[in-house]
Structure 1
């Protein structure tokens, strides 16, 4: 077994690099509100009409801070996916 010793500054610099790489790789998954493109990607939906239907039926939460900007609640997207998940046999 090898032991690696780092100075405190080097250790925290390494931790920051790891966090930055994870954010870049996964995207900023900590955002509560996501764009329509991101929501469509998460739901694997290609049509904006389908997103409109999900909004109209109240199946996903959204906000519209400006006329042409619609943001979706990430938790409601996850909940929608869970509610429509099928158990394996």
Structure 2
């Protein structure tokens, strides 16, 4: 068994950092519109061209408020994943 000793200040900083990270993740779960990095992470894809194909095929909804800004609808991504889920045997 390994014992780790921390000063109280270091423990406070660690707890604050963990809570901040948890809050950020919770905020991201409640976000409706995602950027391409968040979308690619959610879909577990690495290529922007794959994301482009999904957009072109109409598989996922997106919004383009400005020329170079494309945002993706979280609900449509979740529907796409659910529609392509396979039942186990």
Against the structure 1 CA distance between its residues 82 and 21, is the aligned structure 2 distance closer, same or farther, given a 3 Å change threshold? Answer: same
- Gaps of at least 5 residues in structure 1 are 1-18
Consecutive aligned runs of 4 or more in structure 1 exceeding 4 Å deviation = none
What's the counterpart of residue 63 of structure 1? 63
How far has the Cα of 1:22 moved from its partner?
3.7
The size of the alignment, in residue pairs, is 71
Q: Equivalent residues in 2 for 1:12-23 (5 A)?
A: 22-23=22-23
TM-score, length-scaled by structure 1: 0.72
Q: Hey, what's the Cα distance between the residues in 2 that align with 1:62 and 1:76?
A: 9
